[in-house]
Amino acid sequence: MSLKYAILGLLDDRSRYGYEIKQQFEQAMGELWPVSYGQLYPTLKRLKQEKLLSVRTEQGKKAIDKHVYSLTSEGRLAFQAWLKDSSKKLQTSIKDEFSLSLFFFDKMDKQDLHRDLEDLKKASLRKLGSVRDDLALQQGQNGNGHPSRRLLLKKMELYLEAEHRWIEEIQREIPKE
Amino acid sequence: MSLKYAILGLLDDRSRYGYEIKQQFEQAMGELWPVSYGQLYPTLKRLKQEKLLSVRTEQGKKAIDKHVYSLTSEGRLAFQAWLKDSSKKLQTSIKDEFSLSLFFFDKMDKQDLHRDLEDLKKASLRKLGSVRDDLALQQGQNGNGHPSRRLLLKKMELYLEAEHRWIEEIQREIPKE
DNA sequence: CACAACATGTAAGATGTTACATGATTGA
DNA sequence: TCAATCATGTAACATCTTACATGTTGTG
């Protein structure tokens, strides 16, 4: 349900075609929130069926026609209602494969585990570094980047720090045996 | 792909029936990792088709037969290979509805936003409190609980702290206007 | 000329949730 | 007797990823 409102919101400003929606969203959100065509185009189709969007075909210089989407008034209302709705949640899910594997902690080779932990820690720090670089860049071109990009990057930074701390905690707690 | 290995791992110790798998997993993982029947039973069926599990029907006192699953040797190998595999990732996803809504930050009523932020902060602190209570409990019955439960709770605590910090950062950064 | 970027889409599958459907047993 | 717990499942939907399929236009 998120892509739906991302689309509606982008079209609230002006009409756009599919390719453009993806570019714009990912440019602002960065690598933090990728959108695949395999999801985008079917969603546009569905939103059209739901009468939240209308389409017109633009024959530009290009051979391939662009399908330019606009919000219907119904679509605009739907977006505004969503934006105002206060039930939007932060979804902090901690379910992932590595965490599951800890469930079988006692069956694990402790040396393998500590090797994996080292790798995960390195990966975490690498990501953290690149996020911080991005944040610094954002700060540099002051107020130029999309404000939500800064906030998202900040969120990512805080979460990666938490991840890193957690890994170190596991390293401390689990004997190398 | 996670539930698959949760099932295989639980059956590595001994045979179990579906209901029991769910109970055992959720008891150890707590509310942090719920498993629905709508996913469990189809997955069991699929794993049987993949010949990773075998089934026998147990007619106990109950009228409803229990379907008792055991690992095949293939299943045991699959589990061990997974457990040893070092490519298991930590998946820190920061994509959720609230974060998306920040993308449309400039379209938002700032008072609504600050009200929502207050609510989210309260919800975060509530969850954090209950996680910390659980952790204290875990500490109390020393070494009695499942060790991975402690680690998962700790992870949750760190992530909720990050979430809380992030919310406060947004509150600071975005003018109330 | 080759390759990146532009532009559209479909098909299959992974991974779940929610709601429905059924019925027995146990304890208050 | 009434509710909770035990026990099994299906069906519909939701959300997203990956791989496939096709062809043009601009740039080095």
Which pLDDT tens digit goes with each residue over B117-153?
999 999 999 999 999 999 998 887 766 678 889 999 9
Provide the pLDDT for residue B140: 77
CB atoms within 10 A of CB A15: 16
Give the span between the Cα atoms of B68 and B58, in whole angstroms: 7
What tens digit of pLDDT does each residue of B86-124 get? 888 898 888 999 999 999 999 999 999 999 999 999 999
What Å value separates CA B144 and C1' C26? 29
The structure tokens listed for A103 are 């469930």
Provide the pLDDT for residue A92: 82
Chain A hits for B156, CB-CB cut-off 8 Å, are: 92, 94
Q: Which residue is nearest to nucleotide D19 (CA to C1')?
A: A38
| Nearest one of B154, B119, B60, B130 to A173, comparing CA atoms | B154
Question: Is B107 in Cβ contact with A12 (below 8 Å)?
Answer: yes
Q: Reply yes or no on whether the pLDDT at B169 is more than 90.
A: yes
Question: Is A156 in Cβ contact with B103 (below 8 Å)?
Answer: no
The structure tokens listed for B118 are 């207050």
Q: Which nucleotide is nearest to B36 (CA to C1')?
A: C17
Provide the pLDDT for residue A60: 64
Q: Which nucleotide is nearest to A6 (CA to C1')?
A: D15
In this prediction, residue B80 has a pLDDT band, given cuts at 50, 70 and 90, of very high
Q: What percent of chain B has pLDDT over 70?
A: 96
Give the span between the Cα atoms of A89 and A91, in whole angstroms: 6
Q: Which residue is nearest to nucleotide D18 (CA to C1')?
A: A38
Give the span between the Cα atoms of A173 and A62, in whole angstroms: 61
Query: Considering chain A, what is the average pLDDT of its residues?
Result: 92
Phi then psi for residue A36, to 5 deg, are -95, 150
Question: Is A29 in Cβ contact with B103 (below 8 Å)?
Answer: yes
The structure tokens listed for A139 are 């700060």
Footprint of strand D on the protein (CB under 7 A): A 1-4, 34-39, 61-64; B 17-20, 23, 37-38, 41-42, 44-45, 60, 62, 64-67, 95
Question: Is B88 in Cβ contact with A98 (below 8 Å)?
Answer: yes
Q: Protein footprint on strand C: which nucleotides are under 7 Å from a CB? A: 6-12, 14-21, 23-26
Chain B hits for A168, CB-CB cut-off 8 Å, are: none
Give the span between the Cα atoms of B59 and B63, in whole angstroms: 8
Q: Pinpoint the alpha helices (H) of chain B.
A: 2-13, 18-29, 37-49, 73-84, 97-102, 110-140, 147-173
Question: Is A107 in Cβ contact with B159 (below 8 Å)?
Answer: no
pTM: 0.93
Whether CB of B50 is under 7 Å from strand C: the answer is no
| Nearest one of A173, A55, A8, A94 to B100, comparing CA atoms | A8
Task: Give B103's Cβ-side CA count (13 Å radius).
Answer: 28
CB atoms within 10 A of CB A11: 24
B144 CB-near residues (< 8 Å, 6+ apart): none
What tens digit of pLDDT does each residue of B26-76 get? 999 988 999 999 999 999 999 999 999 999 998 765 667 899 999 999 999
Which residues of chain A carry a pLDDT beneath 70?
Answer: 60-63, 142-144
Question: Is B95 in Cβ contact with A148 (below 8 Å)?
Answer: no
CB atoms within 10 A of CB B151: 19
Chain A hits for B159, CB-CB cut-off 8 Å, are: 92, 94, 159, 162
What tens digit of pLDDT does each residue of B152-166 get? 999 999 999 999 999
Provide the pLDDT for residue A54: 96
Provide the pLDDT for residue B143: 64
Q: Which residue is nearest to nucleotide C22 (CA to C1')?
A: B64
Number of H helices, E strands in chain A: 7, 3
In DSSP notation, A21-65 reads HHHHHHHHHGGGS---HHHHHHHHHHHHHTTSEEEEEE--SSSSP
